Chains A and B, each alone.
Chain A
Amino acid sequence: MSTTWKWYSDAGLTAPLTRADFVRTSTATAVQKRLYFGSTETGKKLQNSSDPGVDQLQISITDATTGDGVESSDIKLALSAGGLATATAGASLDIGATLYSGASGAVEIFAEIDSALIALGDYDGITIGPVDYVESAV
């Protein structure tokens, strides 16, 4: 049984995302994106596997290429655009104890990369995703 939760670029969970591209110029400015985490299946729920329904699901930031330029500490996650201002860089984001499938149950996540990098190029290595999760039928 495969997990059905995925990342999307739209609130209706129609356009799946395999990568979130943040584009900016060589002038160091913070760039934000809205991402949607949800499932288009029916009758599913996603919970923290440690204590399902009680513990918060978390979206954590992982840097597979530490020191390449964009670091976890350059990333902020929040549940609202305004929340980015107070979010702690590099910190995981609580997204609820139980998520339900369907567009209405999708979580809108605001991500920001605020890096001092000015050298032209593409910088990969950072991923975001849930940890300790379990998907089951409602």
Chain B
Amino acid sequence: MAWPEGGVIPAGWFEWPVEATNWHVDTSEYVSPGSSLSASSTGRDGALIYSAEYDTTAIASPRLTVSTRISSVNSSAFINVYRCGIPYPGDQPPVVETLAEHTVADSTGWLSHTVDIPPGTGYIMFYVTGIGDSATGWIDDFALGEIEAGPTESLPLRLTIEASPQIALPLRLQIGSASGIAPLPLRLSVIDEAIFSGFDGTVGWAPAPSGQWRPLVTLDGVELTQLVGDITVTSTRNEARTAEFSFLPASVIAPMALIGRRVQIAFAERDASGTAVNPQLLFTGVIETPEVDVQTGVVSCTCHDQTQEIVANTPTEWLDAEIGGRYRVEIDREPADNWEYALSRLRSVPASIALDERQQVRILPWFGSGLISTRVTEGDYLDGSLSVTLPSRSDLITRVTCRIQYKYERLRGRGISASWSKGILFFTGSTRGTLLEKPHTWLTTDMTQAAIEGLDGWTLDSMQLTHPRPDSYMLGDTSSEGYYIIRDDVAPSLVIGFNARWNTRWQQTVIEDYTITVVADSLEAQIGEPIESETGVTLESSFDADNWENDPTLEPALTVPASGDAITPWEADGAGTADRDDLISTVLDRAWVDIADASRTGRASFDLPLRPDVWLDRRFEVDAQRLHAEGTAYSITHTMSPDGGTAKTAVTLAIGMPGNVPAALPTWALPAAVYPDETRPLSSYSVPVPTWVGGESTSPVYDEETMYGFITNEDYGAQPAGYNWYSVALDLRSPEIDATDRDPITVETASTVSVSIPTDLLELL
């Protein structure tokens, strides 16, 4: 019976509406119009109104909609849906299971119910039932929907949002300061280009062509008008710029209040009206020490430009980037501040540090790019001011012996093994043919395990024992010579062979001892003999895992081969091989810089009519009648003497050894430490197991020192006198670890590196 298409009961089955009183039908028939139903006073009766076959194999979660329109219901009434075992009509269909029961009532419209249909095939029946006497009702209409797929099963996801104080967003009103940062004014001062000219023998005083000049000294931005005596400003590499001046206060002052006050000093042309023209700043700094002449009231001030304070406050990262070079704390220890740090780093770079006239940190190279080249001749410097001093022997260095020791721990491990076996006839004995063998006392399992597990100082990795096969072993060529019987329960207690592996681990201290001599060959040839300096430093990579040797569970783990060595250098943080190489490079850099620095202790000095633009960033070529030299400014002193009307700049140059050949800091090829051959013979990784037999005519007297391994006797049940008989034992002795493997070792490496250092032009004519 096919399912009605469209879900509507086809005509001919019964006509609708069906008026039923007492709702009674013969259960062997479909309900039909006019049929009556009757229910007992306590029971339920009903009428089959439809039956059909279903097939829901291909439908997921099948279900259908049952719709009824029933009126005049005066009792409890239901629409029942049953699954039954056979089709109807026919016999009373047996109910297999109740699929749904929905209460129905008077209804002017449709009442719809969804019924889940079992998956697969079967038969389904629809009943209308009532309970109790005089149950009446009028079935106006009945319809079935298509069997359709129900909602697809899906995995329910639950998002639980728990009320929590943390979810609440705290709002904070923070009242900050949104004003008060003073904009920074930018001033462009355009000054006469001519004031920077005048060198190279050009006559005249470019900064003050008319010879009229004046100092400008300001205290906290206010010009001091009553200057007294000379005003000097001195700049020296790696030192603070200093200034001295005196003035007569215009009003009563508290000398102590001068300390730390801001000072600026400039040199300017003076026009006809006395106004400063083209002022050029010479100094910015603070008063360090004021002194008062109580007789005259003159206040003399010594000032500096805060070099040490400013550099000390400068972040390390900035110094690293600007200076370059290398720094290792092992050489100079922890610096007190970044001023010391900067000087330490500068030891590895051919450069100096200083503040310019506006207190900006400047890194000044000794030579090469970054310097302003200037040529001065006799027309430029003041008469009689030129002098020169050559480097003294005591200042020179031609070679530096660098000793660098790198001390670290090697984590070592060694794997050893033992292997031993005997044929079973060795124990049972044999008289068979050529297989003549005397019986010997057995090696037992207990004896073997105890010996293997008891190897002192070694951790057992693995152990395999070979037991004799339980069997009856014929002793001779014929059975009449008897059998040696090993029972099942005895075999496991006997051993005819074993293999075992052990490992141990330990630390070995290593000192890589580098001696590297940095030699300036050309300088040494120039001087005629070596002048040596020495330096030394140690880097230690300490290993502080207590009891690591004895506790194999402690990190770091070491993978030890079955028979061989494992060697792992322990590199502590900041003391690994990369640090070692960096340390060696740093020492070598410093050695080269030391040699170069010592070679430029010659000095050439001369005075110029005051040149505000001359500073430490200049490299001068002095071309005079008796001297032709070239060097970098080492110290500059500007002196203004308003009383005497003179203003001059004293220049001191650092001059290297003659040669005039440039050279740069080398790139080092670091020497490699050469370790001794650490290949060991196979015996270092083997546990020997010789077999000693007592009771033979050749059996020696037992010697505990030399007799180890498997010690047994010929076994005849009795031990006749006149032979050496032994206590049966398995005595395993591990191979010794050589002292060279265990004791601290020093790996010495010596090398010499030839370097070139820059030389300057220095000709005495």
Give the residues in chain B near A3, CB-CB below 8 Å. 177-181
Chain A residues contacting B355 (CB-CB under 8 Å) are 10
A119 to B278, CA, bound (A): 12
- Of B187, B315, B338, the contact of A19 (CB 8 Å cutoff): B187
Q: A10-B314, A25-B192 are in contact. Are A35 and B184 (CB under 8 A)?
A: yes
Contact of B178 among A21, A49, A115, A122 (CB under 8 A): A49
Question: When A11-B314, A14-B313 are in contact, do A117 and B177 touch as well, CB less than 8 Å?
Answer: no
> Using a CB-CB cutoff of 8 Å, which residues 179-219 of chain B contact chain A?
179-193, 195-196
Indicate which residue in A10, A70, A128 contacts B188 across the interface (CB closer than 8 Å): A70
Is the Cβ of B188 less than 8 Å from the Cβ of A117?
yes
Q: Is the CB of A128 within 8 A of B358?
A: no
Bound Cα distance from A126 to B347, whole angstroms: 42
**A11 close to B315 (CB less than 8 A):** yes
Inter-subunit contact A21/B189 (CB<8 Å): yes
Known: A5-B181, A120-B192, A128-B186. A21 touches B315 (CB 8 A): no
Q: Mark B119-134 against chain A: 1 for CB-CB distance below 8 A, else 0.
A: 0000000000000000
Within 8 A of A (CB), among B266-314: 277-278, 280-281, 284, 306, 309-314
Smallest distance from the beta carbon of A97 to chain B beta carbons, Å?
15
For A129, the chain B residues whose CB sits under 8 A away are 181-184
Contact: B313 with A10, CB < 8 Å?
yes
Contacts of A12 in B (CB 8 A): 309-315, 338
Are B189 and A22 touching (Cβ within 8 A)? yes
In the complex where A15-B284, A15-B310, A136-B176 touch, is A21 in contact with B358 (Cβ < 8 A)?
A: yes
A3 to B180, CA, bound (A): 5
Q: Could you mark each residue 26-64 of chain A with 1 if its beta carbon is under 8 Å from any beta carbon of chain B, else 0?
A: 110001011100000000000001000000000000100
| CB–CB B178/A6 < 8 A | no
User: Do residues A11 and B361 form an inter-chain contact, with CB atoms below 8 A?
Assistant: yes
Contact of A127 among B183, B189, B193, B306 (CB under 8 A): B183
* A85 within 8 A of partner (CB): no
CB-based contact A26/B190 at 8 Å: yes
A5 to B317, CA, bound (A): 21
Q: What separation, in Å, do the CA atoms of A111 and B186 have in the docked complex?
A: 9
Closest residue to A122 on the B side, CB-wise?
B189
Is the CB of B691 closer than 8 A to any CB of chain A?
no
Interface, chain B (partner A; CB < 8 A)? 174, 176-193, 195-196, 221, 277-278, 280-281, 284, 306, 309-315, 317-318, 338, 355, 358-361
A selection of 7 A-B contacts at a CB cut-off of 8 Å is A15-B359, A18-B221, A23-B281, A26-B192, A104-B317, A120-B191, A123-B190
Q: Which residues of A are at the interface with B, using a C-beta cutoff of 8 A?
A: 1-3, 5-7, 9-15, 17-27, 31, 33-35, 49, 62, 70, 75, 103-104, 106, 108, 111, 113, 115, 117-124, 126-130, 133-137
**16 further A-B pairs in the complex, CB-CB below 8 A; given A22-B187, A117-B190:** A1-B176, A2-B177, A6-B181, A6-B182, A10-B313, A10-B355, A11-B314, A12-B310, A12-B312, A12-B315, A17-B184, A20-B184, A120-B192, A124-B185, A126-B186, A126-B188
